[in-house]
Chains A and B, each alone.
Chain A
Amino acid sequence: MDWNLLFSSYSNVFLDPTTLLMTLLGAAGGVLLGAIPGMTATMGVALLIPFSFGMDLIPSIGLLLGIYCGGMYGGSISAILIHAPGTPSAAATLLDGYPMAQKGEAGRALSVAMFSSFCGGVIGALIMTFLSPLVAKVAMKFTSAEMLMLAVFGLSVIISISGKSIAKGLISAFFGMLLCTIGLDPTYSKQRFTFSVTSLKGGLSFIPVLIGLFAVAEVIAGVERIIDGRESAQAKSNEKITRVLPDGKTIRTIIPNIFTGGIIGTFIGAIPGAGGDIAVFVSYAFNKGTSKHPEKWGTGIPNGVAATESANNGCSGGAMIPLLSLGVPGDSVTAILLGAFIMKGIQPGPMMYVSELPTVYKVFAALMLANLAMLLVGCAGVRIFAKIVSLEKRMLYPIILVVSLLGAFSINKNVFDIGVCVFFGVIGWLMNKYEFPLSPILLALILGPMCEQNFVRFMDLNQGNFSAILNYPIAIGFFVVAIGVVIFSLINQKKINDREAANLGSFPQE
């Protein structure tokens, strides 16, 4: 590694006022976009890419990376405050973030999310700087067999997020996978469960389902609780935010989670086709599994927020690895970034490390700067964001509902999606009522298409002989790890149930 060149590239980027301004603007826009349910970092980057046409390469990459990193953090804001993840990558943040907000710790949850996002992003950027050629080499060996087993490995964390009843968690997961099969079959274009509804041919859109299951279901349940008298309509959080960054004690507690989350996120982000949405669940399950008190996970602890937020921002660095070293985008945002590079006359790939090495180092620096900009924007915004939960519930619930339904519409500009959102709101409400966990559906919706497509491709390539998977050592490795995760999670869940049973004593009957 050319240290002098690396140092001069970093100083060029950090001392260029245009790049600084553009990155900061991008981060602010990304945080705001990410916080709106239905608007993703991908949409933000796609929307703003025309504005970067007239700029030099590095300021425009800074702008786009700012949106990317800001959007990753922004998604956690609505997940924590209104139980609706702004982006799919923030889907696991609500597991502990929302309970923290309900306990009156919304500001603390936001600051933990922001700090973890920053640290995860920095870990990703550092790994990208030093290990990008090596990681890209491993990730690019992935064929349909490895991708299938990667999806199976991702699904193995379902038990960790299933709560008390593993059977209910698995029913939810299979239901989610079944939902993924609605629409045209991806390989042969045969209609499945479309019932002659044209809008169903394209399948169910992920975001309206997600908004319905979490935000709309929460509003319906909230109205029920208020009318029942179980919740006060005037209830509001009176949390006073004295600091925008977590205190020293909290930081000491969450550092291990941030570190593992950042590494998991970077590695998963480096695999083309796998992104932050998968990484957050894997990181959550890993950190919960290795925790001394797994029973506390899901009840509103900062560790849960740290594990997920560091993983999704770690992905931003990871996804840049195959983009720069092989010219293959790791996710949808980096696919758009690839377009931005090509527009500027630069073709990312192995040759870029030879002919455009200063540009490569400047991109590393721009990613680091984007994470710093996200931290600054986050610090400035924590108090403002936390004000949302200081609204009375009787005002907050209807507002959440109309904002969420608009978010569902905005994805495809289709009224049918609002119907889907409301339908899944009802499903989510019923599932919550009868204690079926919602997170496994989410994970299944993310991994289902990847699982099916690679399963079909693998079987077609091997003439229907599934045992040919034994010829793929990395795939077998993933499978063995998946089995290990299942066994470990089962033991862990038993421990949690035993501890809870010991604490319960006599259970109230009425």
Chain B
Amino acid sequence: MNRERKCLLLEPKKTQTKAFSNMIVSILLLVFEVWAWIQSNSIKTAKNAAVQPSTFPRIMILGMGIFTVILLVQSVIKLAGMKADDPLAAKAESLNFIKNKGVLAALFVIALCALYVYQFKNLGYVVVSFLLCAIIMWLIGLRKPVKLILISLLVPLGMWLVFYKFLTVNIPMGILQPLRDLVDMI
């Protein structure tokens, strides 16, 4: 047990443990909290107010800061005296998209979603959803073109019909605007 512990302390892979990732996350959170505190300085004051508009957000930032410091201290202590059977000695999740194809795929999906938001009004819900659905299905292994196209087309179309006709939610149709006119006529 002692030998195992000694080895782990000398192990360069300590940077891959959950304790180390907790430490890095706490430092990043502290940076965010300092930034949020600075931003709170720009909140205008109110006259004759018992509680200023910036008070509540600052209490929250302070609360977040206190527990971030606690997390940081906990992680440093764990790293210094790490035991092999400690749950925080387990390997942490990685964000390295060069080594990890899963992370790369996740980032690709996020980028697709960002494009989806950007083109939502121009192309319309059905078209952007068709593209998003089809690309992700292809990405995660659906190689049957007919099934892929049918699902990607029918689901957004069905959802649009439900929301538009029954729930009276007006959804942008973009280039498929004539379809809405057709449904309105029916």
Which residues of A line the B interface, CB within 8 A? 33, 36, 39, 43, 47, 164-165, 167-168, 170-171, 174-175, 177-178, 181, 185, 187-188, 190-193, 216, 219-221, 223-228, 230, 233-234, 392-395, 397-399, 401-403, 405-406, 409-410, 413, 415, 418-419, 422, 425-426, 429, 433-435, 452, 455-456, 459-460, 462-464, 501, 504-510
Contact = CB atoms under 8 A, between A and B. Distances in A.
10 contacts: A167-B71, A190-B43, A192-B43, A192-B57, A227-B104, A227-B140, A398-B134, A398-B137, A406-B163, A464-B50
Contacts of B87: 164, 501, 504, 507
A188 B56 contact: no
B22 A178 contact: no
Contacts of B93: 433-434
A395 B142 contact: yes
B2 interface: no
Contacts of A433: 93, 95
A403 B157 CA distance: 11
Nearest to A219: B109
A236 to B, nearest CB: 13
A42 B177 CA distance: 30
Interface in B167-181: 167-172
Interface residues of B, number: 79
A460 B133 CA distance: 52
B117 interface: yes
Nearest to A175: B64
Main secondary structure of the interface of B (DSSP, over half): helix
B44 A415 contact: no
B101 interface: yes
Given A188-B53, A224-B102, A435-B18, A399 B155 contact: yes
Nearest to B148: A395
Contact of A394 (B104, B110, B140): B140
Given A190-B53, A405-B129, A452-B56, A395 B151 contact: yes
Contact of B110 (A33, A399, A422): A422
B29 A224 contact: no
List the 4 shortest-distance A-B pairs measured between CB atoms, nearest first: A228-B102, A464-B50, A185-B53, A174-B64
Nearest to B8: A509
Contacts of A220: 106, 109-110
Given A167-B71, A188-B49, A398-B133, 6 more contacts: A228-B101, A401-B113, A406-B171, A410-B163, A434-B25, A460-B50
A463 B50 contact: yes
A498 to B, nearest CB: 13
Contact of B46 (A190, A228, A506): A190
Q: Which of A190, A402, A510 has the most CB of B within 10 A?
A: A402
A413 B172 CA distance: 9
Interface string B88-100: 0111110100001
Contact of B67 (A171, A410, A426): A171
A413 B170 contact: yes
